[in-house]
Amino acid sequence: QVQLVESGGGLVQAGGSLRLSCAASGRTFSSYAMGWFRQAPGKEREFVATINDYTYYKDYKYYADSVKGRFTISRDNAKNTVDLQMNSLKPEDTAVYYCAADLNVSVLRAGRGGSWGQGTQVTVSS
């Protein structure tokens, strides 16, 4: 497993942008699929985006329909970080955002990843 710490959340107006970052510990970061999930008050945690490990899948990216075209996930294997650039934010994007990791991208995308961060709050005002 890896240890994950998110940063970059905050308050932004609708239409604005935020960039979340997740720092990971461990020497095998590039072997992990990484992802972002979110949980709004009173709702279940939902998938946002994943990026595959570089070794076999060359950073293939996958997004939830609700964020496609607005959010971009990226990773820097030299820095052990994964970012989520969020543009054209909407009030319905308000949630706690979690970084997650797993060696199996299917397991990760299903929300059963082995490693999770503590979460960072994103609030979008109308």
3-state secondary structure of 73: strand
Supply the mean pLDDT for the chain. Answer: 94
Sign of the C-alpha dihedral computed for residues 115, 39, 89 and 59 taken in this order: positive
For the stretch 5-20, pLDDT in tens is 999 999 999 999 999 9
Q: In what order do the strands lie in the sheet with 71-76?
A: 4-7, 18-24, 81-86, 71-76
The rounded distance, in Å, linking the Cα atoms of 111 and 116 is 10
pLDDT value at position 53? 83
For the stretch 109-124, pLDDT in tens is 999 988 999 999 999 9
